């Protein structure tokens, strides 16, 4: 069965690599909305509109499971997607629950987009799973820009990481949640700059386990895996990023300008 994955750009490839690691025989079809990236500063209405346009394409191409490899899109659209499509829709949310279980200081730091942090679903998540724990949130739009530009290391990344993480550490946070799928690509730099004993959590591996559970009965029928990656943005940029984002993984690539370019200023 084909697995369709979507994100605002290349961030969701951090989820795809976990799915591919766990299910090397799976047929994966990824569509990143890089032309409209970032979603983190867009309205819930516009995020939903884009996500439905992209999901429609993945379903038309035969996806039997849809993975929303984007926290912002999950928070604002997963309910509507599940109510609309006749296939399993796997979403992802910042890992507040595991972080609240892991913290010893009683303070967790959540790095996520502005859209995710403002979402009702995020507030419910904190209310339900972080009782008695202090949750400090912080949007990092610069991380998304850096990853979309393929810049995963170097002084600019280090400065951006320090700016985002230092205020969290000052509050006593000892667990940092990577609540946006672009951020795991910066995880090596983030970890390097955290004090010893600070934990980092990311939802990607849990999403891969969920997909694996849904797919289990079907796997025996698809022994050879395949990976097709599409972007609404530039094919040249996508092809230049892949060796850095998915080293050693072979994929076919294409560009598909769904809905055209965004109006300027959106």
Residues with a known catalytic role: 70, 180
Site membership for ligand DGL, residue 203 (CB under 6 A): no
Under DSSP, the state recorded for 222 is -
Q: Which of 177, 180, 189, 246 binds ligand DGL (CB under 6 A)?
A: 180
Query: Could you tell me which stretch among 156-164, 166-174, 180-188, 230-238 binds ligand DGL (CB under 6 A)?
Result: 180-188
Contact 170, 198 (CB under 8 A): no
Tokens 């025996």 belong to which residue? 220
The smaller minimum CB distance to ligand DGL, of residues 177 and 194, is found at 177
Q: Which residue is at the shortest CB distance from ligand DGL? A: 40
The smaller minimum CB distance to ligand DGL, of residues 36 and 215, is found at 36
Q: Which of 11, 91, 184, 233 binds ligand DGL (CB under 6 A)?
A: 11
The smaller minimum CB distance to ligand DGL, of residues 145 and 218, is found at 145
Contact 95, 181 (CB under 8 A): no
Measured CA to CA, the distance from residue 171 to residue 168 in angstroms comes to 5
Using CA atoms, how far residue 106 sits from 98, 136, 165, 174, in Å, is 13, 11, 17, 8
List the strands of the sheet with 199-202, edge to edge: 134-138, 107-111, 175-178, 199-202
Contact 161, 193 (CB under 8 A): yes
The smaller minimum CB distance to ligand DGL, of residues 182 and 210, is found at 182
Q: Which of 34, 137, 181, 203 binds ligand DGL (CB under 6 A)?
A: 181
Contact 5, 67 (CB under 8 A): yes
Binding string, residues 17-46; x marks residues near ligand DGL by CB under 6 A? --------------------xxxx------
Binding string, residues 126-165; x marks residues near ligand DGL by CB under 6 A? ------------------x---------------------
Partners of 77 in the beta sheet?
Answer: none
Under DSSP, the state recorded for 193 is T
Contact 175, 197 (CB under 8 A): no
Binding string, residues 88-127; x marks residues near ligand DGL by CB under 6 A? -------------------------x--x-----------
Contact residues for ligand DGL, defined by CB under 6 A: 7-9, 11, 37-40, 70-72, 113, 116, 144, 180-182
């Amino acid at each position: 069965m084909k697995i369709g994955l979507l994100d605002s750009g290349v961030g969701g490839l951090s989820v795809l690599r976990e799915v591919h690691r766990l299910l090397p025989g799976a047929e994966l079809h990824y569509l990143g909305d890089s032309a409209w990236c970032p979603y983190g500063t867009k309205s819930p209405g516009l995020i939903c509109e884009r996500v439905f346009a992209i999901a429609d394409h993945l379903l038309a191409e035969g996806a039997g499971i849809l993975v929303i490899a984007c926290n912002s899109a999950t928070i604002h659209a997963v309910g509507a997607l599940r109510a609309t499509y006749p296939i399993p829709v796997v979403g992802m949310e910042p890992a507040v629950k595991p972080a609240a279980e892991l913290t010893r200081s009683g303070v967790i730091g959540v790095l996520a987009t502005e859209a995710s942090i403002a979402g009702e679903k995020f507030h419910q998540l904190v209310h339900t799973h972080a009782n008695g724990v202090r949750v400090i949130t912080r949007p990092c739009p610069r991380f998304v820009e850096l990853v979309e530009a393929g810049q995963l290391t170097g002084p600019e990344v280090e400065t951006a990481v320090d700016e985002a993480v230092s205020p969290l550490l000052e509050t006593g946070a000892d667990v940092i949640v990577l609540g946006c799928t672009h951020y795991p690509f910066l995880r090596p730099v983030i970890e390097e700059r955290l004090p010893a004993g600070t934990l980092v959590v990311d939802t990607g591996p849990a999403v891969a386990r969920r997909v694996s559970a849904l797919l289990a009965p079907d796997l025996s029928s698809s022994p050879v895996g395949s990976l097709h990656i599409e972007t609404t943005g530039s094919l040249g940029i996508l092809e230049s990023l892949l060796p850095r984002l998915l080293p050693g993984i072979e994929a076919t690539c294409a560009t598909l300008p769904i809905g055209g370019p965004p109006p300027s200023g959106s």
